[in-house]
Amino acid sequence: MKVPTNQKLSLFRHAEKRLHFLHVPKCGGSFVEKAFLPWIKKCETRIFPETAGHLTYQQYESAFARIGIGMPDLWFTVIRNPWDWHVSWFHYIKGDPTGKHSGCRIEGALFQSFTFSDYIRWLEDPSAPATDSRMMHKQMKDYLTDADSSIAVSRILRQESLAEDLDRMIQDLDLKTRIPKGRKNTSRRETDYRVHYTDKEAEVVARRHADDLELFHYRFDPPASAAASLARGG
């Protein structure tokens, strides 16, 4: 979000800086945006069509250059366990058959007849029909890196501990905002994301997100019930 240079409107208590949220899709963005009202209404991504949507850092660089705006001082983002990310994507798109909310019209229609296994096969097939944005085909690293493949965002929060991570960032940067009430760091889905996968399907996601796993140290653990059974010697 853009932080106005007028100190009375600034998000920062004791500084005049610009803080932007790089919204990796399906990574807690709605909760983050609530935390930054009303300042987020002044965000350049809300004002200029060229910077709207789920852009990567490099796409923001290009878009900001085209409209003659310098890049912000600080960027932050939220990432998510890749296996959980894809389960979330599948259910979200399946529930948006026209693509009105997601912008993924091709996938919205296609996924209506898909099981999650079909989705994984689609994800692995480079020739399968997809919208031009191909958001589901990216790694999270792709959203966050500059032209030199270096991480370009200042703060990386995690979906799994979003309220705590966001609160820590607010304190560290001395921001005026606060955490919205009612946040739970769990998915709305009742089942553990891991039960959706066979071993081979989990490996497909691991291969596709190899850089994310190396950078952010996510891993595919057994479901909680299985882990508890193993701990008991079951």
What pLDDT is attached to residue 9?
Answer: 58
Q: Where are the alpha helices (DSSP H) in the chain?
A: 29-35, 44-47, 57-66, 82-94, 105-110, 116-124, 140-144, 162-173, 199-208, 210-216, 224-231
CATH architecture of 7-231: 3-Layer(aba) Sandwich (3.40)
pTM of the full structure: 0.85
Q: Which residues of the chain have pLDDT under 50?
A: 1-7, 184-187, 225-234
Q: Is the dihedral of CA 215, 172, 45, 89 positive or negative?
A: positive
pLDDT score of 72: 82
